[in-house]
Structure 1
Amino acid sequence: MSAERVGDDHFEDGGEDGPQDDEFIDPNDVLVEVVDDGDHPMEEDEDGLEGGPHPEDEIVWEDNSVQHFPNHKGSVFAVSTHPTAPLAASGGEDDLGYIWDLLTGDELVKLTGHTDSVTSTAFSSDGELIATGGMDGKVRIWRRVGKDDWKTWEFLTELTGPDEVMWIRWHPKGAVLLAGSNDTTVWLWQLPSGNTMQVFAGHTGPVTCGDFTPDGKRIVTADAEGTLAFWDPRSPAPLFKLTPVDQRFALDGITSLAVNPASTIAVVGGASGGVRVVSLSKGEVVGALAGHQDGESVEVVEFVDLATGPAAQAAAAAGGVVVTGGTDGKACIWDLGTMRLRATLEHGDAVTSLHHLPAPGKGHLIVSASTDKVLRTWDARTGTLVREHKGHSGPVLAAALGLAGGVVVSAGDEGVCLVFQTE
């Protein structure tokens, strides 16, 4: 499809989120009943220690999850949630994706057809479509069947073009899908037809991250060689590019980015621990944030809402508040109005995911996930810990909020997805 076929309705203001399911799971639900069949003598290992060796990564000391999904046969790399229904979609090392029920943990649909690891899953903004992206270069699309049934889905189409899919993002309003590839290209498709709307070819390395701006009018992408590109979806040429030739933008490769809700500022994280603030209207670097350890990459960036009313408007005009998470185990909270560090949140290992609660009045609460096997809910206004979420026996590789932010769903390297109440 030519660039002119991109309808204006897809690149106007994004729609509001629909009503959210407010059902929760009783945290006291019993997942497994263990039968007491009497005491047994403990065996001694060759060193004379009772019980033998207990590798630390095989022990789960505490599990406060309210549901689990153990169906993957390998690491789970991706998880996402439906915008209104109690559904999660996960993808893993077993070349499979699943749609499953957050409330019961039941498998609803097996998403097949990939020939390599499924590294991305995403529901469209209206919840009618689900996309999976894989290391095999395929993007596969399923759609919901029936108006009142969110448990039945059918395969729609397969999109091809990328060499290896690094990430996928749906447009905030329309049925338009964006994907970044390790072959330096970025692809844009129209659904349900599956027609290619645009191929952006302006990068020099794997396209590690990207997204639509929240207003849906522009696209921001970045690559492992350190180039940031800003696009009009209707044009194959970027509106502007920033490269490491400008020493102010030398990040040893870009690993993460996010755009503020006003669609005016991008915050970019680098492989060497640097963070840059970019004005999307000016096309230039307007700030540098130094809080992460040198040589430790910034893996995730997330904007948060710490205020309401006039205070929120003033904060947004100044750029807002952003959180950056790195492999140094830190999540740094920054005030972009002053370019100063507000607080530092500490994990025991790399931070892999950050999300702020979407419910009104809850935007100051953020959930972080880490390879230290734990997720945590924090109050970003003060940097205080609200709740710890434990149950994984391996690193947490991804997470997503569901049920209007009432739960967080996590993807574990040990092959299990868990559901926790956020507060």
Structure 2
Amino acid sequence: MASERVEDEHFEEGAEGEEDDQFIDPNDVLIELGDEGDHAMYEEYEGEGGMDGEGMPEEEIVWEDNSTQHFPNHKGSVFAVSTHPSAPLAASGGEDDLGYIWDIMTGDELVKLTGHTDSVTSTAFSADGELVATGGMDGKVRIWRRVGKEDYRTWEFLTELSGPDEVMWLRWHPKGNVLLAGSNDTTVWLWQLPSGNTMQVFAGHMGPVTCGDFTPDGKRIVTADGDGTLIYWDPRSPTPVFKLTSSDARFDLEGITSLAINPASTLAVVGGASGGVRVVSLSKGEVVGALAGHKEGESVEAVEFVELAAAGPGVAPPASGGVVVTGATDGKACIWDLNTMRLRATLEHGDAVTSLHHLPSPKAHLIVSASVDKTLRTWDARTGTLVREHKGHQGPILQAALGLGGSVVVSAGDDGVCLVWPTE
């Protein structure tokens, strides 16, 4: 398939002479570091109800709900939720083959996003907020656009994109209307909007493409699959810049389940089905670190970079290498200092961690974790202390997103409901 040339402002080359890797010394060797005995910083909540003389509860448990808004319109599990970059909007998708755009301040349904014939597993707003995409298990990617310059409540269907067998995830370019999708059939698709033209089809994976994203500078793409392969792409070429596979024993993660890219676009951190985490230099195309804090065999479901300043007098911030948080099915969220490749703190949930999100500056030290234990929690990543617990779901939380500049968190639940809370 012929490729359409990507606009230069989205994918221009970096300046020559840039430092290859400003965080990891070239002489660093792969170091395997274990959990150094960090204990849980939050003990599981226990109810206060007593027992009567026959060992029965004295009274029924009252379900706690401290959310500020809810959206109950889905008829089945809600798999995906995303938020508008500026307006009080969320887009959710679910088991009922539907997506919705709804108001996170009022809970009102604004638009029903129809046309899918199987579960909607991905939703995403474009960087400028003018477009929203839904992706489904039916392989369809459907695009809606905002109508009118002043009214964020009115949207119309624009076009349907085809190509993938089953859409695993969607990502918009950080600066332009270019959409990236990973498929269950080992392919990765790149489209230009609003035309809907296919710009590139990337082939090179051997398993379902489980995760991927643009680098924050918008110049490259990183994708990974369930077979354990990571590929670094130039969007203008169907040929990989480099590829790492499980044939390298240092990179054998028994399938890659999650990834994140640092703000400088120089490092990728990937999590695996085996519980392992690897740090990859994107300039060198090689593994430069291994992080071992999750229980073996527990899948790493979420990775998120955070920016830390000093937490207060006597508490030093990490050096320039950065900090990353990994969350897994063992119920842990591990905070890592990438300068030393050491564990800073361990955060605890009662069940699997499904997603992680950091607030924007000046509160970038705060992270929100979502869990199968039916709660979300806001933490101070500088100290590992719990800031706030968010309750209200009666089933596992499958995805979450920050909205309104990070002031609220919106969740998607297996109980068929989306909820909204203040993050602090």
TM bin (shorter chain): 0.7 to 0.9
- State the alpha-carbon separation in 1 of the partners of residues 240 and 218 from structure 2: 16
Aligned AA (2:419): L
TM-score normalised by structure 2 residue count:
0.87
Match of 2:172 in 1: 170
- Judged with a 3 Å threshold, the aligned counterparts in structure 2 of structure 1 residues 104 and 250 are, in CA distance, closer, same or farther, namely same
- State the alpha-carbon separation in 1 of the partners of residues 206 and 216 from structure 2: 26
Match of 1:263 in 2: 265
How far the C-alpha of 1:50 sits from its partner, in A, is 9.9
- Judged with a 3 Å threshold, the aligned counterparts in structure 2 of structure 1 residues 60 and 281 are, in CA distance, closer, same or farther, namely farther
- State the alpha-carbon separation in 2 of the partners of residues 327 and 244 from structure 1: 22
- State the alpha-carbon separation in 1 of the partners of residues 331 and 111 from structure 2: 35
Provide Cα deviations, 1:172-217, integer angstroms capped at 9, x if missing partner: 0000000000000000000000000000000000000000000000
Match of 1:401 in 2: 402
Match of 1:387 in 2: 388
Q: How does 1:284-299 map to 2 (within 5 A)?
A: 284-299=286-301
How far the C-alpha of 1:156 sits from its partner, in A, is 0.2
Provide Cα deviations, 1:102-133, integer angstroms capped at 9, x if missing partner: 11000000000000000000000000000000
- Judged with a 3 Å threshold, the aligned counterparts in structure 2 of structure 1 residues 315 and 281 are, in CA distance, closer, same or farther, namely farther
Q: How does 1:33-52 map to 2 (within 5 A)?
A: none
Match of 1:236 in 2: 238
- State the alpha-carbon separation in 1 of the partners of residues 112 and 62 from structure 2: 28
Match of 1:411 in 2: 412
Q: Which runs of 4+ in 1 moved over 6 A?
A: 49-52
Match of 1:128 in 2: 130
8 Å CA contact 1:222–1:228 kept in 2: the answer is yes
- State the alpha-carbon separation in 2 of the partners of residues 222 and 317 from structure 1: 26
Aligned AA (1:3): S
How far the C-alpha of 1:9 sits from its partner, in A, is 1.6
Aligned AA (1:380): A
TM-score normalised by structure 1 residue count:
0.87
Aligned AA (2:412): A
SS at match of 1:116: coil
Provide Cα deviations, 1:330-363, integer angstroms capped at 9, x if missing partner: 00000001000000000000000100001x2200
SS at match of 1:207: coil
Does 2:350 match 1:348? yes
SS at match of 1:404: helix
SS at match of 1:3: coil
- Judged with a 3 Å threshold, the aligned counterparts in structure 2 of structure 1 residues 60 and 7 are, in CA distance, closer, same or farther, namely farther
8 Å CA contact 1:368–1:376 kept in 2: the answer is yes
Provide Cα deviations, 1:113-172, integer angstroms capped at 9, x if missing partner: 000000000000000000000000000000000000000000000000000000000000
8 Å CA contact 1:60–1:393 kept in 2: the answer is no
8 Å CA contact 2:306–2:323 kept in 1: the answer is yes
8 Å CA contact 2:326–2:333 kept in 1: the answer is yes
- Judged with a 3 Å threshold, the aligned counterparts in structure 2 of structure 1 residues 362 and 111 are, in CA distance, closer, same or farther, namely same
Query: Number of aligned pairs?
Result: 379
Give RMSD over aligned pairs: 2.0
How far the C-alpha of 1:413 sits from its partner, in A, is 0.3
- Judged with a 3 Å threshold, the aligned counterparts in structure 2 of structure 1 residues 99 and 316 are, in CA distance, closer, same or farther, namely farther
- State the alpha-carbon separation in 2 of the partners of residues 402 and 50 from structure 1: 39
Identity %: 84
How far the C-alpha of 1:307 sits from its partner, in A, is 2.1
- Note the residue ranges of structure 1 that are not aligned, 5 or more in a row: 14-46, 309-313
Match of 2:305 in 1: 303
- State the alpha-carbon separation in 2 of the partners of residues 173 and 202 from structure 1: 26
How far the C-alpha of 1:61 sits from its partner, in A, is 1.8
8 Å CA contact 1:219–1:233 kept in 2: the answer is yes
- Judged with a 3 Å threshold, the aligned counterparts in structure 2 of structure 1 residues 89 and 241 are, in CA distance, closer, same or farther, namely same
- State the alpha-carbon separation in 2 of the partners of residues 72 and 229 from structure 1: 36
How far the C-alpha of 1:3 sits from its partner, in A, is 3.3
Aligned AA (1:388): E
Aligned AA (2:9): D
SS at match of 2:206: coil
- State the alpha-carbon separation in 2 of the partners of residues 127 and 12 from structure 1: 23
Match of 2:119 in 1: 117
- Note the residue ranges of structure 2 that are not aligned, 5 or more in a row: 14-53, 311-316
Q: How does 1:185-334 map to 2 (within 5 A)?
A: 185-307=187-309, 317-318=320-321, 320-334=322-336
How far the C-alpha of 1:5 sits from its partner, in A, is 1.9
SS at match of 2:406: coil
How far the C-alpha of 1:381 sits from its partner, in A, is 0.3
Match of 2:25 in 1: none
8 Å CA contact 2:188–2:202 kept in 1: the answer is yes
8 Å CA contact 2:275–2:299 kept in 1: the answer is yes
- State the alpha-carbon separation in 1 of the partners of residues 318 and 141 from structure 2: 38
How far the C-alpha of 1:11 sits from its partner, in A, is 2.1
